[in-house]
């Protein structure tokens, strides 16, 4: 079997959910990380079809686009449901998380308005978190019934890295407790998977 390589910048960002999926599945892979300068030098080789990261090299293919990569890995492992409604429920949540991320990116990267981001996160994000929380099953283990889905990985990464990782937990967890506390239990349940726990215990911190 050819070696699996995940190419991304040295941040969590759009590559982290794929890293978590690979770890969850127990797949060995080379975690290739770039600065913007080294990627600008590399992308001219044509290694990535759209000249963007993340890029996953697997099964003889060079795959691009983060959500497509995630679904490829999950379908490859037999973890994508054949049920139409279940897939809708999963992908609608993934899309909702991406809508939230676009707002955050606009504040941070485009507008460089951290004060505005803080105000939005305090006043408007809680309601969005409550909407996500309503999708949880009764045991707070999954977001689509009682089966693992793409949404579980995406929402976990968003909640854990946004609110519960060591760098943020002291200030961010109380905000989550006040708005959508069941998402904390969901994240703790997901994190209890041995492969995920081992990865997060040794993962180096990043700003984003």
| Mean model confidence pLDDT for the chain | 96
Q: What is the pLDDT of residue 36?
A: 94
The count of other CB atoms within 10 Å of the CB of residue 197 is 13
Q: What is the mean pLDDT of residues 60-88?
A: 97
Question: How far is Cα 191 from Cα 189, in angstroms, rounded to an integer?
Answer: 5
- Cα first-last separation, the chain: 33
For residue 82, pLDDT beyond 60: yes
Least confident of 2-6, 162-166, 175-179: 2-6
Which pTM does this prediction carry?
A: 0.95
Residues in the chain: 208
| Digit-coded pLDDT (tens) for 121-164 | 999 999 999 999 999 999 999 999 999 999 999 999 999 999 99
For residue 2, pLDDT beyond 70: no
| Digit-coded pLDDT (tens) for 33-59 | 999 999 999 999 999 999 999 999 999
Q: Which of 12, 42, 57 is nearest to 200 (CA)?
A: 12
Order of strands, sheet of 30-34, starting from the edge strand that comes earlier in the sequence: 30-34, 5-9, 55-58, 61-64
């Amino acid at each position: 079997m050819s070696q699996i390589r995940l190419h991304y910048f040295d941040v969590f960002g759009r590559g982290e959910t794929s890293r978590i999926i690979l770890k969850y599945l127990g797949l060995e892979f080379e975690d290739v990380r770039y600065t913007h300068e080294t990627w600008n030098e590399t992308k001219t080789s044509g290694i990535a079809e759209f000249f963007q990261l993340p890029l996953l090299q697997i099964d003889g293919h060079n795959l691009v686009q983060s959500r497509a990569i995630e679904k490829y890995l999950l379908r490859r492992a037999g973890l994508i449901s054949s049920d139409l409604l279940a897939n809708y429920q999963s992908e609608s949540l993934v899309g909702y998380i991406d809508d939230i991320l676009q707002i955050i990116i606009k504040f941070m990267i485009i507008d460089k308005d951290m004060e505005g981001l803080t105000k939005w996160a305090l006043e408007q994000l809680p309601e969005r978190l409550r909407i996500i929380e309503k999708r949880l099953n009764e045991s707070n283990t999954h977001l689509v019934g009682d089966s693992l889905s793409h949404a579980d990985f995406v929402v976990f990464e968003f909640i854990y890295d946004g609110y519960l990782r060591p760098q943020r937990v002291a200030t961010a967890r109380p905000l989550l407790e006040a708005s959508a506390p069941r998402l904390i239990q969901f994240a703790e349940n997901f994190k209890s998977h041995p492969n995920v726990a081992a990865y997060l215990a040794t993962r180096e911190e990043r700003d984003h």
